[in-house]
Structure 1
Amino acid sequence: MKDDGPKGFDLAQLLAERGAERYELHAKYLNHQLPRMLHTIGFDRVYERAEGAHFWDADGNDYLDMLAGFGVMGLGRHHPVVRKALHDVMDASLADLTRFDCQPLPGLLAEKLLTHSPHLDRVFFGNSGTEAVETALKFARYATGKPRILYCTHAFHGLTAGSLSVNGESGFRDGFAPLLPDTAVELGDLDALRRELRRGDVAALVVEPIQGKGVHEAPPGYLRAAQELLQRHKALLIADEVQTGLGRTGDFYAYQHEEGVEPDLVCVAKALSGGYVPVGATLGKDWIFRRVYSSMDRVLVHSASFGSNAQAMAAGLAVLAVMEDEATVANARRTGDLLRERLAALTGRYELLHEIRGRGLMIGIEFGRPSSLKLRSRWTMLQAARKGLFAQMVVVPLLQKHRILTQVSGDHLEVIKLIPPLVIGEPEVDRFVTAFTAVMDDAHSGGGLMWDFGKTLVKQAVAGR
C-alpha cells in the first residue's frame, strides 16, 4: 500500500466541510446564549468575507460595518500593509519569545508609540485592553504605595478581576465580589474627587476621556483640574484610551483634546494591531517603571507570556505607518464631523431623537421620550418592559433592511454607538444617514414592522425577568 505521508492541516477544506455548522458549534461548545440572542434579534447572519468597512454574505450582499469589531478594526479589515507585515514577520522565522534576549521589534514599536505622547517614557506590552488596565492599576499601586483606585460611574475598563474592580456597571460586577478596594466618582465631579483624595489612600484615578458606555465626554476642563488635584495628593492619572486612542476621536489620543493634560499612565489596545493579533500596551513615566522594576530580582515581577510577540509588534508598526501615510487621524476628524453634523440636523425633525454627541468617529445617538400622545404611549410600553428596547428596535432594521451593523451602547441605554473603521468617507456617511432617516421615518409613522418587532422584544424582556 502506498504511503502518501502526513495529511497536514487544510484550513480551507475544514471550513468548506464544516463552516455551515458555525451557530450549532457555538451553541454546543461556547457561550450558548450568544446564538440564541442573535437569532432572537435577527442578527444570525453568515458573513463569508470582509474588506475595509464592509462584509459580504454568501449571496454577495454587502454590509456596512459601523461597529469595527468593538473598535478593533481601526483601519478596517485586512489592510494590505498590515497583512503584508504579518506575512513578512512569519517568513522571517525570528527567534521570537525566547524570553532571555531583547528582540528589536518591541523597542521599535515602543519608540514609535511614544512619539505621540512625548511626556511619557516607557511601554509595557501585553495582549489586550484589560491587560493594559491591569498593568496600570498594579503600577499605580506599587509606585505610590497606596491601595485604592478611583474610577467613574458608568465606566468600562475590562472584565478581569482587577479591571472589573473599576468597572462602573453593576451588571458586570454582580456575583464576582470581593474585588479590589475602589470607589466610584461621577465623571466631572471634582468635589467628589477632592473628598476621596483627602483620605490619603488613593493611588490613582482611571478615566476614559470619552466613556464608551453611552458616549459621554469628560466636561471641558475636568481632566486638567483632576490632574492637578491628583498631583497635589501624590496620586496618578490613568487615561484609558483602549477604545478612544489611535485616532478614534480625531486626535491620536482623546485626552489631547484638552490642553495641558499629561496622564501618568496611558492604556491602549484594540486598533493597535489592525485587528489581526491581540495586543495591549501601557505607556508610562520613567519613574513609575523604575520603581516597579527596581532591581534585577524584580525583572519579571510583571510580565506576559505572549507580550511583545513578533506578530503583534510587526502589526503595530505597520498600523502606525499606515496611519501616518494615509492621514487616518485627520480623516477620522473630518468624516466624524460630517457624520455628526448630518445626524444632528435630524434632531429637530424626529421627536424620538434626543441628542447626537461624541468626537471624531465615536458618536452616540440618544433617543428620548416623545411629545406626541401616540408615540409616547408606545415609548412608555417599551420603557416599562426594559429600558433600551427602542435603541435595539433601531439597530435591528438598520441591519435587516439596510445591511448596516451597529450596536446599542450599553445595557439599559437608549443610545446607539457608532465606532466605524477610521477609513470610511462621505459615501459611507451618505449610506448611513439615508438608512437611519428611513428607520426614523418608520418609527415616527406609528406603525409598521418596526413596532411589531418592538412587541417581540417586549415579550422577550418580560419572559427574561
Structure 2
Amino acid sequence: MLYSNLDVSEMFVDRQSQRSSMHSRHLNEQLVRVLKTIGYDVGFQKGQGQYLFDRDDVRYLDLLSGFGVFAIGRNHPALRKALKSVLDSDLPNLVQLDVSTLAGVLAERLLDYVPYLDKVFFANSGAECVEAAIKFARGATGRPGIVYCAHAFHGLSYGALSLTDDPNFRSGFEPLLPGCTPIPFNDLAALERALSSRQVAAFIFEPIQGKGVNMPTDEFLPGAAALCRKYGTLMVADEIQTGMGRTGRFLAVEHWNVEPDMVLIAKALSGGHVPVGALLTRKSIFDKIFNQMDRAVVHGSTFAKNDLAMAAGIATLEVLESEKLIEAAAKRGAELRLALTRMVPGYELMKEVRGKGLMIGIEFGPPKSLRLKASWNVLETANRGLFCQLITVPLFKDHKILTQVSGHGSHTIKLLPPLTITEEDCNWIETAFDNVIASSHKVPGAIWSLGKTLVDNAVRKSA
C-alpha cells in the first residue's frame, strides 16, 4: 500500500497486526518465538513516560526502559520539541568538511559534569564508544593489552565482544581481538598482576556490572585507579548503562570518588529516539590520536555528530536538570531498595537486594525446605537461571510490570526504570513483587505449573 504524504503513524496502525509475521519472515524469527512462548506478544501501541500501553490500551509499568535508554521516560515533550525544531530549521547537517555547532554545545555541557576531562568524541552507540576507547588507549600508550572484568558486558561488536567472557555471546564468533585479559571483579591482586607487565593500555570496567548488578567493594575502584597510575595504564569507565543519573549521581564512579582517564556514555543520552554515544577523555590522550592535520580524521563515524543526535543529547541533559531526575533517582531508588530488602527475611528464595539509585538487582537462590528445593533443582537442571522467569512472567501477565533477568543463567532480576517513576509506581512494584514471590513459595501452585511448562520447552530445545 502507498501512503499519501507518507504518514508513518497511519502505516503503523495499518500494519501493526502483521508485526509478528513480518518479523518472522524478514527479521528475527527466534525473537518472535520467545515472545509468544512467554506471553509477551501483547502488541504495544503507545509509550508515555514510564508507561507502555498494549493493543487493548492496558497500561504497563516499564522497568526495562529499553535497556536503560528511556531515563527521562518515553516521548518526553521537551525531547520531541527539540527534535522537531531541528527538522524545521533546515540546518546544514553532516557537511563533514565543517564543524557542528550542536556537537560543540553538547560536548561543552557534558564536560561541565566531568570537569577533570577535556575532550569529547561522539559515536552512534555504546559499543562504538568501546571500540573507540580500545583504539585511543592503544594509540596513546603504544601498548597492546586491554584488561577487563569477568562477567562484564561492553557490547557485541568485535572489539567490545572481546571484553566479555560470556560464552553465550562469544560462541561461534571467535577468534576475537587478541591481547584482552579478564580478571575477577573486585580482585585488586589479580589486577596488579595483569598490569605489572606494563604492556596493558587500558583497564575498562563497569562501575556496577549490568549483568547481575554486581557491586564493587568500597576499595576496588579507588585501588584500581591507584594501580593504573602506578603502571601507566589508562582507566576507562564504561558508564553506558550506569551514567546519566541512573545511580543517583551523574556518573556512578562519583560514589567512589574516582576520576577515570576516559568515560563512556550512551543509552540515556539519546533520550530514546536518536542513537548517540560519547567518549570523554583527557586532552593528553586525545592529542596523541589526532596529533597532526593529516590525522584529523584518523578515527570517526559518518553519522556520529548528526544534528538530531546532538539535539537529543542536549534536550536530555536539560530534562535531567530541570526535573531534578538525578536527585529523584537517588531518593526513589533508596526507598525502593529498602522496601524490597525488607521482604528478604520473609522469603527463603530471596537472597539479596542491591544496587544504587534506580539500578537495582533482586537475587534469588536455592531454598532450604525440601519441597521448594526439589522444584528448584528441577528448574536448574533443565536450564540454569530459569527460576527468575517464574517471577518475571507473572509480573508481566498479572501485574503489568515489564522487567528482565539480568543475564544468561542469572538468578538476579534487574530493575532499570525511567528516572521519572513516582511513589505510586514504587508501591505498585513493591505490591507486585510481594505477591509474585509469595506465590513462588507455594508448591504446588500456579507459578510452578508455569515452571513445568518452561522446563518442557527447555527440554524440547535441547533435544
Q: Structure 2 length normalisation: TM-score?
A: 0.98
> C-alpha distance in 2, partners of 1:312/1:460?
42
Name 1:74's counterpart in structure 2.
Answer: 71
Name 2:444's counterpart in structure 1.
Answer: 447
- The answer to whether the 8 Å contact 1:151/1:168 transfers is no
> C-alpha distance in 1, partners of 2:13/2:114?
46
Work out which of the residue numbers 251, 255, 258 in structure 1 matches 2:256. 258
> C-alpha distance in 1, partners of 2:68/2:458?
28
> C-alpha distance in 1, partners of 2:230/2:411?
39
- The answer to whether the 8 Å contact 2:44/2:52 transfers is yes
> C-alpha distance in 2, partners of 1:57/1:226?
46
Name 1:382's counterpart in structure 2.
Answer: 379
Name 1:10's counterpart in structure 2.
Answer: 7
The residue correspondences of 1:59-458 to structure 2 (distance < 5 A) are 59-180=56-177, 181-259=179-257, 261-458=258-455
> C-alpha distance in 1, partners of 2:93/2:172?
39
> C-alpha distance in 2, partners of 1:426/1:13?
36
Structure 2, unmatched stretches of 5+, are none
CA offset digits 1:394-453 (Å, max 9, x no partner): 000000011100000000011100000001021110001101111011111222221111
- The answer to whether the 8 Å contact 2:42/2:55 transfers is no
Deviation at 1:230, TM superposition (A): 1.1
> C-alpha distance in 2, partners of 1:13/1:322?
30
> C-alpha distance in 1, partners of 2:154/2:106?
24
> C-alpha distance in 1, partners of 2:65/2:131?
24
Deviation at 1:258, TM superposition (A): 0.5
> C-alpha distance in 1, partners of 2:10/2:434?
43
Deviation at 1:463, TM superposition (A): 1.9
> C-alpha distance in 2, partners of 1:300/1:402?
51
Letter matched to residue 285 of structure 2: I
Deviation at 1:45, TM superposition (A): 1.2
Structure 1, unmatched stretches of 5+, are none
Give the SS at the match of 1:266: strand
Calculate the aligned-residue CA RMSD, in Å: 1.2
> C-alpha distance in 2, partners of 1:17/1:318?
32
CA offset digits 1:19-78 (Å, max 9, x no partner): 110011111111110000111111111111110000112222100001100000000101
Letter matched to residue 196 of structure 1: A
> C-alpha distance in 1, partners of 2:26/2:433?
36
Deviation at 1:6, TM superposition (A): 9.8
- The answer to whether the 8 Å contact 2:330/2:356 transfers is yes
CA offset digits 1:375-406 (Å, max 9, x no partner): 11101111111111110110000000111000
Letter matched to residue 213 of structure 1: K
> C-alpha distance in 2, partners of 1:87/1:7?
21
Letter matched to residue 324 of structure 2: A
Letter matched to residue 271 of structure 2: G
CA offset digits 1:318-357 (Å, max 9, x no partner): 1101111111100000000000000000001111111100
What number of residue pairs does the alignment pair up?
Answer: 460
> C-alpha distance in 1, partners of 2:216/2:169?
22
- The answer to whether the 8 Å contact 1:148/1:202 transfers is yes
Deviation at 1:7, TM superposition (A): 4.1
In structure 2, relative to structure 1, the CA distance for the partners of 1:6 and 1:337 (3 Å cut) is closer
CA offset digits 1:358-379 (Å, max 9, x no partner): 0000000000111111111101
CA offset digits 1:275-301 (Å, max 9, x no partner): 010100100000111000011110111
Sequence identity percentage: 48
- The answer to whether the 8 Å contact 2:198/2:233 transfers is no
Give the SS at the match of 1:115: helix
